[in-house]
Structure 1
Amino acid sequence: MNLIARLGLRYPILQAPMAGAQDEALALAVTAAGGLGALPAGMLSMEGLDQALTEIAGQGPLNVNFFCHHLPEPQPERLQRWRESLAPYHQELGIEPPPPSDTPSRRPFDEEACAQVEKHRPAVVSFHFGLPEAALLERVKATGALVLSSATTVEEARWLEQQGVDAIIAQGIEAGGHRGHFLSDDLSLQMGTMTLLPRILEAVSVPVIAAGGIGDPDAVEAALALGAEAVQVGTAFLCCPEATTRAVHRRALLEPDTPTAITNVLTGRPARGIVNRVMRELGPLSTAVPDFPLVTGSLCELRAAAESQCRGDFSPLWSGENRQGCREVPAAEQLAWLASKLPSPS
């Protein structure tokens, strides 16, 4: 199956779904310009998802992305210890901590989400952190949607192919945001995109999409030359006006010398972001952090207070390692630039 031809794309470039930094505006802009836009659904209510999918209906192929994490058991003692570790920051900023809560801020793909897919029938449905249970996956496939999911190792890629996905996103260690691993939490198994990509290509027969560190025309060209059918790009779109990226995040993205690191102190699950204060002082990786996604709410007040002072000390400044291509230009212009070293579309 030729993924690009089947979707009718002008460019073999997928916009990565980026929860918290975009809505349907960026997705529609990328699709209108000839790529595949993506709508992240992991942080949307079912009402919000229904509204977004209604608004984008009939405007070209789009990828709707869902998380497939397992909700942890309540962890009141662990959450309390984590709150205590954040107390000095609340005191410093003169704000009250949020009330204790172990309510997850992100929901995995479930019956209600599946019903929305069946109602709106998007062209592509993608998953992060594995796949939903078999019965739900079969219902998604029955809508005619192409099913994609992320693999961070060859073993994960093989598993995804066995479950019947239509294409695999090979997520290298350079990628911004959450790691998509699901068979093992061992980060030492993770590898760079240009190393992972050929290994997955050799191991599976379905199309493979390269992701991670692909933020400029050279990287796009290199990944396709290695055999990827398409690339997935996230960070390079974060400064486009159609993105909802916060001001402190945009400023950090445009400072190319600030390092990134993989951290779990912002959400409870490893994710790559620009190094900030809380990552330096409590992480970047900590065994004390409650499990994903229970920890997210504990930083809300700190984040808001710091951002009101134009600081991203407690903000998830997600970014891939390659952000040299971040530009404050419309998504259509950015997409055409990313594709500028590829043969002209026929």
Structure 2
Amino acid sequence: MCCGRPCDYRRNMIAEREIPLIAAPMAGGVSTPELAAAVSGAGAFGFLAAGYLSAEALAGQVERLRALTSEPFGVNLFVPGRHRDVDLADYQERVRSASARYGVDAGSPQWDDDQYPAKVDLVITQRIPVVSFTFGPPDRSIVELLHEVGSEVVVTVTTPAEARLAAEVGADLLCVQGMEAGGHRAIFEDDRELPGGGPLYGLLAAIRLVQAEVDLPVIAAGGLVHGADVAAVLAAGAVAAQLGTAFMVCDEAGTQPVHRAEIAAGSARNRADPGVQRAPGPRAGEPVSGRQHRCTRGLPATEQPDQADARRGGQGRRPGADVVVGGPDLCPGASSARGRTGARLIDEAGASLARATARLG
């Protein structure tokens, strides 16, 4: 039993998909209705990223996605963190010259709830097939309302302790995020004494630890860019592999040209250590993982990357581009999410599993 309900791993929308791949929800414009539709249409599972969107904008994306496909899809919500007063005067002074160089205002980080209540109401009324939560578990009452309308609930976790909390509120699946993941660390509470905001587990270790703690199906996320990575996490017991960076270069993604160029030209030694940077915006001060650039190189863990990069989007030069990606730099060139990307990953995974099977004899 899983939190009082029958736990049947064969009966959830993600595990039933023909292709055990998920296009990770990537906030900030990368995840688009077109990308989610292409991924779900190919037999895998696509997500919309509600983070940083208004509830109205999210409603428009849901409408657009449903016009593109009748396949199931998911929406990811950011659970609001606690408001913290942080003195950023020194940081703002430090980035003033960078802001002037790009011709933009540095802005000022501020806390808000990312319109979380309105977005929760939206995913319930719209009966979104799968709703995932990042930065904490939703209230049990929210999970119950989602279950009443037939939605499945996924909670992103980074530790066994977080997995227990997610199970207690009634989550149907857990998305286990390893330290290799790009972007925000999906921690529930930020321990500012630790660079990563909490314990840093590699993905395979995290899967094993979580599975030993709770009896829920798991999705694996973090640093997966090759079919061999997919094979490894499936062999470890995951029902699906969630990839972000690998889909950023797809034609349907909303990735800015400067970021596409950075991904294509990047090298593994240019990737930041998890927790080195701390995020601006609604998740101000929380750890993120991504590429180093001149605005972040040498900054201590308590300082934040330059917000100006997000504002200038595709207009800036490569040296200042802020790209929060995960895993080694083995991503292929641009292709369609509906066609080559998923097929390539599955072919690579099959070949890897065949080699392992032969080796085991």
TM-score in terms of structure 2 length: 0.83
Aligned to 1:97: 105
Deviation at 1:164? Answer: 1.0
Q: CA RMSD in A?
A: 2.5
Structure 2 partner of 1:292: none
Gaps of 5+ in 2: 1-7, 352-361
Matching of residues 293-304 of structure 1 within 5 Å: 299-300=307-308, 304=311
CA contact (8 A) 2:21 2:45 kept: yes
Q: Distance in 2 between matches of 1:100 and 1:176?
A: 24
Return the alpha-carbon distance in structure 2 between the equivalents of residues 30 and 243 of structure 1: 11
SS of equivalent residue, structure 2 residue 75: strand
Aligned to 2:296: 279
SS at match of 1:2: coil
Give the whole-Å Cα distance in 2 for the aligned partners of 1:25 and 1:94: 30
In the alignment, what sits opposite 1:167?
173
Secondary structure of the structure 2 residue equivalent to 1:150: strand
Query: Residue 278 of structure 1: CA displacement?
Result: 1.2
- State whether structure 2 residue 54 is matched by structure 1 residue 45: yes
Tell me, yes or no, if structure 1 residue 264 matches structure 2 residue 273.
no
Matching residue's letter, 2:287: P
Equivalent residue letter for 2:346: A
Seen in structure 2, the aligned counterparts of structure 1 residues 96 and 51 have a Cα distance that, compared at 3 Å, is closer
> Unmatched 5+ residue regions in structure 1?
290-295
- Which residue pairs with 1:122 in the alignment? 128
Residue 228 of structure 1 is matched in structure 2 by 238
The CA deviation at 1:24 is 1.1
AA of the residue aligned to 1:72: H
Aligned to 2:95: 86
Report the AA paired with residue 21 of structure 2: I
1:3-42 per-position Cα deviation (integer Å, ceiling 9, x unaligned):
5764541111111100122211111110000001000001
| Structure 1 residues 1-346: aligned runs within 5 Å | 1-2=8-9, 6-7=13-14, 8-20=16-28, 21-57=30-66, 59-73=70-84, 78-91=87-100, 93=101, 95=103, 97-98=105-106, 102=110, 104=112, 107=114, 109-110=116-117, 112-185=118-191, 186=194, 187=196, 189-258=199-268, 259-261=270-272, 262=274, 263-267=276-280, 268-283=285-300, 285-286=301-302, 288-289=303-304, 299-300=307-308, 304=311, 308-313=315-320, 315-332=321-338, 333-341=340-348
**Alpha-carbon distance in structure 2 between the residues aligned to 1:3 and 1:133:** 26
Aligned mates of 1:312, 1:19 — CA distance in 2: 22
Aligned residue pair count: 328
- In the TM superposition, what is the alpha-carbon distance from 1:311 to its structure 2 partner? 2.3
Deviation beyond 4 Å, 4+ runs, structure 1? 98-101, 302-307, 341-344
Percent identity over the alignment?
A: 29
* Counterpart AA for 1:13: L
- What is the rounded CA distance, in whole Å, between the counterparts of 1:74 and 1:95 in structure 2? 28
